[in-house]
Amino acid sequence: MSRGKICSLEWISRPLRRGVLATKLRHCSRNAIGVQTASDASINGDQEEHDLCNWDELKFSFTPTDYMYVMKCSSGESAFSQGHLTRYGNVELSPSSGVLNYGQGLLEGLKAYRGDDNRIRLFRPEQNALRMQMGAERMCMPSPTAEQFVSSIKQTALANKRWVPPPGKGSLYIRPLLLGTGPILGVAPSPEYTFLAYASPVGNYFNGPMHFSVEDKVYRAIPGGTGGIKSITNYSPIYKAITQAKAKGFTDAIFLDAETGKNIEEATACNIFVVKGNVISTPPIAGTILPGITRKSIIEVASWLGYQIEERAIPLEELINVDEAFCSGTAIAIKPVGSVTYQGQRVEYKTGEGTVSEKLCRTLTGIQTGLIEDTTGWVVEIE
């Protein structure tokens, strides 16, 4: 890399146990609670959120909330039974369960937002349902219907509504899981499955622009693999690479395609966009890149705002010549890229007010929180 601002690298199965998880937290706390049923008054959020958290110091870290949602597909059945809410707590798994032995599991992630009108909104939850179904088909798993999935998310958000941060302070992150929980010794699909969804209030995943190193020895995904779905097995194999990047002062690492080693694909948990003039480009969905819901929404919003959108292979060398770069994902929302470093050379990009990423972020978060009218049907109000 030789153009732009360049400097040397000197910086940078059994039913769920209905016990109570009592955890002492640095910034957030919950009172010890007894075992209750889903009909308790608190499930409708009667308790106030006052003094529940120091919302100003909220980070993207786990805080146990009140309830989780559980649904099962038993042996010999092809569909999930009606689920239910239960107090958040540990789960019991057979040591021979499919998820523990062979990694047969999927995860999703979405957020509930509190608007200035105090209404709570979900953003395109049906898209998460469809993506889980796509992943389940790939992993030989049954999946909840879209209606079951969306209903479970609504119920989880409503039951934990007191944990949805005030406007502008964060969001309630909801993590659905689809797990092979039946016992299996041979290499084969699990005989039983569990779907569950739990929630945690979160703040920003990263503060400020992101600074990347380029990883050219470890690949996040390979053609024919599971990079295009949210398999639980996709993440830990790259822990070493991102740990090394962070030890050198970087926010994260950008991974290249395994086939040629020349094109950028994704970061650890976010899609990548680059901007040149009025053109916004992002790597195509071709089996190795996760079809992000925020990514999909950005493409649509950008086209409304008059930008030209290209989904194409982006050579690593092209990062030298772009005006701007940013990343997207449910956890990080839309974050500008401040710099990319490769083989000791660093290229910096525009960030801050007036950039394309700032404009897109303002528009998308406005829709998600109710500040901008939703004319698309993307937002689901649950209150």
Residue from 198, 300, 215, 229 nearest 265 by CA: 215
Residue from 86, 93, 81, 233 nearest 142 by CA: 81
User: Distance from CA of residue 55 to its chain's centroid?
Assistant: 21
Give the 3-state DSSP-derived string for 274-342, with helices as H, strands as E and coil as C: EEECCEEEECCCCCCCCCCHHHHHHHHHHHHCCCEEEECCCEHHHHHCCCEEEEEECCCEEEEEEEEEE
Which residues face 68 on adjacent strands?
Answer: 86
Asked if 68 and 21 count as a contact pair (C-beta separation under 8 A), the reply is: no
Reply yes or no on whether 230 is catalytic.
Answer: yes
- Catalytic residue, chosen from 72, 111, 154, 230, is 230
Structure tokens at 33: 């609670």
d(CA 46, CA 115): 18
3-state secondary structure of 170: coil
Asked if 5 and 322 count as a contact pair (C-beta separation under 8 A), the reply is: no
d(CA 54, CA 243): 29
Q: Exposed/middle/buried for 103, CB within 10 Å: 0-12, 13-18, 19+?
A: middle
Write down the H helix ranges in 53-92: none
d(CA 383, CA 368): 14
Q: Exposed/middle/buried for 142, CB within 10 Å: 0-12, 13-18, 19+?
A: middle
Q: Which residue's structure tokens are 């004319």?
A: 375
Q: Please identify every residue annotated as catalytic.
A: 230
